[in-house]
Structure 1
């Protein structure tokens, strides 16, 4: 009998039932196996235990009946969640130390990602200045192309990526770092892979689930060496991302057995 370990997207959709003991034996085993190898999903599960206590503490801080404004704010937030309304603008921002890439002599690959994030994020423009931002008023790929090498110099990789495709648009001959343009079809998952160095990525269009994080256009993600993941694009549309890799990524499973790297 073969047990298939579920994806991060599948696991996050099952966690409530897992906590309540409502899963069947095979789903429960699959979730337990996934959690054993995925620290981000385990951390997400840990918040299930903390959230109710934190909410109770906050609610009781008013010593009696909560203020009408608090009730209205909570009702509005719950209504927005029910209606599927997401807050405007990126919700995942670069780590503080990343912004040094914009300084003279900084990493040019990271600087490009940061400038694109600034083009989407008003709060980061207020904190770090507007002069570096790449404005994005329409198609993000159209805004990006003037800042990339000519397309005839891109090297596309399509095989072995589960329906996705990646263009290596620039490679630093001295360090081996690469800048990559990745596209994942709606509903498809990237093959699970390990990082041999820092990965920083910016979602250009569409949306994806990466462990417990749901990322939309303008959102930033970063993973250190040794991090395993396989993001899944939302159903209904392609997800494009610009990815800066310090070192190659190594695929797991049969792809790893064949020695496939990116």
Structure 2
């Protein structure tokens, strides 16, 4: 049986994939993962563009003298690779279409995530204004957020089968079925592999999270479309907290389907 590797494992194998150095089982697992995971496909496209970008730098600096900007940049990249240090991915922001949710006809759950993002992101406040921003007060669940949610005894909580984490559905639109969840994952733990049957939008509230090639910090935003298969991992240390907007159910692998 062919196992599907995690996002972290796939990013380690992409160079071998391009060089034809993978065995048949590893090659098949990586190709299946890439077919299911848009973030890892985007990371592979970026990886494949890197040689052309470096060639462009060298062509812009034909002298090639020691200490030139292109040579220093190339030396820095090679040094990082030798040390096993890879980029952790972008700090993510909402897309242009997302910001329409702050309008009068916008989706209220997306608008809530946008208001939280504005509380962290000075660049987005400068561009979109600060009037709607919710204060990020240093708490894992900001008081400005809790004030807009139902009392905690009304949350629908799930603890079993989540890799040591827990989730609570705090709001749900009865017409569309779209729901808002708060998710906690202890430091260093992995959220079980799962597939999304609808769009998922996540805003990180506390801690750090590796989600495929993207590394998220508090205030960062990431969206996964239907069909995405991923396995986010919390950074070591304190708990990781996120608020998640789900347009459809989540399908867990294996025995976890019976519990969540």
What interval of TM-score do these two structures reach, taking the shorter chain for normalisation?
0.7 to 0.9
In structure 2, distance between residues paired with 1:63 and 1:52: 17
Measured after TM superposition, the shift of residue 243 of structure 1 is 0.4
8 A contact 2:61–2:70 mirrored in 1: no
Can you list the C-alpha shifts for 1:170-199, whole angstroms capped at 9, x where unaligned? Answer: 112232211100011222222222222221
In structure 2, distance between residues paired with 1:199 and 1:101: 15
Q: Rate the CA distance shift 1:77–1:13 in 2: closer, same or farther, 3 A.
A: same
Measured after TM superposition, the shift of residue 43 of structure 1 is 3.3
8 A contact 1:109–1:244 mirrored in 2: yes
Whether 1:100 aligns to 2:109 is no
In structure 2, distance between residues paired with 1:187 and 1:12: 19
Alignment match, 1:56:
55
Give TM-score scaled by structure 1 length.
Answer: 0.82
In structure 1, distance between residues paired with 2:24 and 2:236: 27
8 A contact 1:8–1:209 mirrored in 2: no
In structure 2, distance between residues paired with 1:140 and 1:99: 24
**Secondary structure of the equivalent of 1:147?**
coil
In structure 1, distance between residues paired with 2:5 and 2:168: 27
In structure 2, distance between residues paired with 1:109 and 1:174: 14
Alignment match, 2:123:
123
Q: How does 1:1-262 map to 2 (within 5 A)?
A: 3-16=2-15, 19=18, 30-65=29-64, 70=69, 74=73, 91-143=91-143, 144-256=145-257, 258=258
Measured after TM superposition, the shift of residue 225 of structure 1 is 2.0
In structure 2, distance between residues paired with 1:127 and 1:69: 36
Comparing 59-68 with 107-116, greater Cα deviation is found at 59-68
8 A contact 1:205–1:239 mirrored in 2: yes
Number of residues of Structure 1 aligned to a counterpart in Structure 2 = 256
Q: Which runs of 5+ in 2 are unaligned?
A: none
Comparing 43-52 with 94-103, greater Cα deviation is found at 43-52
Q: Rate the CA distance shift 1:248–1:32 in 2: closer, same or farther, 3 A.
A: closer
Q: Which runs of 5+ in 1 are unaligned?
A: none
Q: Rate the CA distance shift 1:187–1:27 in 2: closer, same or farther, 3 A.
A: farther
Q: Rate the CA distance shift 1:34–1:228 in 2: closer, same or farther, 3 A.
A: closer
8 A contact 1:190–1:230 mirrored in 2: yes
Measured after TM superposition, the shift of residue 217 of structure 1 is 0.9
Give TM-score scaled by structure 2 length.
Answer: 0.82
Comparing 100-109 with 21-30, greater Cα deviation is found at 21-30
